[in-house]
């Protein structure tokens, strides 16, 4: 069934899927690996996840939700027995959602860099690069799809 659905996607829509999967994986990497554990005398007292701390965490969650929403829109577009009347062209919806992922990722990175946090794990920045890169890659392909639809 997955192969049948995958065959219905255009090449640019496949690239959008790859970008959104990269953004979701980036969020998971940040959630799991961007933590530091602090303790006294070798006993762990608390763990701090820098990736989801404060406003940058909210922006990261918004990026992940927009990425999942993009995947849902693509699924609803190609799913069998789906007849949805969209309020605007799907290419515009995809362009807006993918751009939102990239913008939320960039804003989150800016907040994290300007917070001047001590002992920041490198994986936080790797996760940011995955979210921003996936969002930008998907937004570029959505833009190419949008301009092709207008021509």
Report residue 37: phi and psi, to 5°: -110, 130
- pLDDT-derived band at 104 (thresholds 50, 70, 90) equals very high
* 3-state DSSP assignment of residue 83: coil
Q: Is residue 52 within 8 Å of residue 36, measured between CB atoms?
A: no
- What is the residue range of 97's domain? 2-150
Q: Which residues contact 80 (CB under 8 A, 6 or more apart)?
A: none
Q: Specify the number of domains making up the chain.
A: 1
**CATH of residue 98:** 1.20.140
Tens-place pLDDT, residues 44-88: 677 788 888 888 889 999 999 999 999 999 999 998 888 888 899
Q: Is residue 137 within 8 Å of residue 18, measured between CB atoms?
A: yes
- pLDDT-derived band at 132 (thresholds 50, 70, 90) equals very high
């Amino acid at each position: 069934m997955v192969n049948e659905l995958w065959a219905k996607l255009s090449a640019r829509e496949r690239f959008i899927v790859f970008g959104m999967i990269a953004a979701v994986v980036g969020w998971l990497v940040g959630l799991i690996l961007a933590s530091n554990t602090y303790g006294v005398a070798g006993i762990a007292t608390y763990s701090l996840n820098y990736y989801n701390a404060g406003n940058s965490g909210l922006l990261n969650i918004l990026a992940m939700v927009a990425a999942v929403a993009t995947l849902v829109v693509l699924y609803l577009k190609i799913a069998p027995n789906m007849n949805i009347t969209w309020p605007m062209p799907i290419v515009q919806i995809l362009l807006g959602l993918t751009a939102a992922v990239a913008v939320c990722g960039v804003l989150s990175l800016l907040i994290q860099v300007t917070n001047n946090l001590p002992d920041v794990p490198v994986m936080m920045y790797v996760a940011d690069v995955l979210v921003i890169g996936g969002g930008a890659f998907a937004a570029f392909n959505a833009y190419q799809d949008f301009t092709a639809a207008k021509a």
